[in-house]
Homo-oligomer: A and B are copies of this chain.
Amino acid sequence: MSFTLLADIGGTNTRFVLAKEGHGILSDSYEAFPNSGASSPEVLIQRYFQNQGIESCKQVVLALAAPTYGEEIVLTNHDWRFTIKSISAVSGAQDVRFINDLEALGYGLSALKSEQLQHLAGPSISGKNGPRVVVGAGTGFNAAIVTQAANGDHHVKAMEVGHMTLTVETQDEFDLWQYLAQGRERASVERALSGLGIEQIYQWHCQKNAYKPLHINAQSISSAALNKTDPMAEKAMQTFVHIYARTVGDLALAFLPKGGIFLSGSVTRAMAPWLQGSGFFDCFLAKGRQRDLMRQFPIYILQDDQAALLGCEIAANYDRN
């Protein structure tokens, strides 16, 4: 069988799809599993193979929310460990590759259709006019930079921006900073701009307002805010959007992504209705003398949570050529 298994192992969910030589991705084979339902990715692969009625594949490309150097992979936000050998053993594949999930998204960018991208602010993309940045807000937070060499080759590199210092601009935000830093000595960007971050920001608003929390997880906080059934959830979303916009603006000053900023990840998708309001772009632009520069960056929301799988296929082919 000439199947390639493409997988995106996030901090919360794992997504699979098969590709077949000469046919590309087989859309019907797409399946997603919560990580919490399995003891290891090897178990999930077995389950997926069973569902698909296959026993083995030729190649595996895994997009991972983790550093991908070294022999053993240790997921950053979920307690799974595995190796090229263990994945090879369970899948039968001789060729097993790991790539960072944001790097997979970076490779996937060039193949995305317009309906997979929602324009948020700034100019529209026009040709390939500079580096692009993919920002991922989900279980964790990070960004990857996509540059193009003179020969047209794409170069994609994930950074560690989720561990940068969380910024504040008001006393209120510094109080939140201290709340997020409890038991540590600092608060990183990821402490606020992640699923757990939304939960903590919500709890902080509840505590500050002596309000009994009605929700525990990010998804229900986000829904309650949308449905306007919980004023603290709405406050939490507003706080999140300010921090998100300011942070993405800071990253724009660091990478000057004239080719576009692509916001991705489960938290970004849940926040999309809030990002559409004027609050996000106003905060993004608020860089003093650099306001005009800030207007030059196209900003998009990456709607498709399968884009990383597309990127896996491109990265694998790209690597072969």
Contact = CB atoms under 8 A, between A and B. Distances in A.
Interface in A180-202: 181, 184-186, 188
B256 A184 contact: no
B256 A164 contact: no
A163 B253 contact: yes
A163 B255 CA distance: 12
A90 interface: no
B286 A160 contact: no
A19 to B, nearest CB: 27
B254 A164 contact: yes
Contacts of A174: 168, 171, 174
Contact of A159 (B168, B169, B256, B287): B256
Contacts of A167: 165-167
Contacts of A163: 253, 287-290
A293 interface: yes
A213 to B, nearest CB: 26
Contacts of A168: 168, 174, 177
Q: A184, A185, A250, A251: which has the most chain B beta carbons within 10 Å?
A: A250
A73 interface: no
Interface residues of A, number: 34
Nearest to A191: B288
A165 B246 contact: yes
Given A165-B167, A167-B167, A254 B159 contact: yes
Contact of A164 (B150, B159, B166, B253): B253
Nearest to A67: B293
Contact of A160 (B157, B160, B246, B256): B256
A167 B243 CA distance: 13
B159 A186 contact: no
B160 A253 contact: yes
B288 A160 contact: no
A161 interface: yes
Contacts of A164: 250, 253-254
B161 A253 contact: yes
Contacts of A210: none
A137 to B, nearest CB: 16
Contacts of A1: none
A290 B177 CA distance: 19
Contacts of A165: 167, 169, 246, 250
Interface in A249-278: 250-251, 253-256
Interface of A: 149-150, 157, 159-161, 163-169, 171, 174, 177, 181, 184-186, 188, 246, 250-251, 253-256, 286-290, 293
Given A168-B168, A254-B255, 17 more contacts: A149-B149, A157-B256, A159-B255, A160-B254, A161-B253, A161-B254, A163-B288, A163-B289, A163-B290, A164-B254, A165-B169, A166-B167, A168-B177, A169-B181, A169-B185, A174-B174, A186-B288
The 8 nearest A-B residue pairs measured at CB: A165-B167, A164-B250, A160-B253, A163-B290, A174-B174, A164-B253, A254-B254, A163-B253
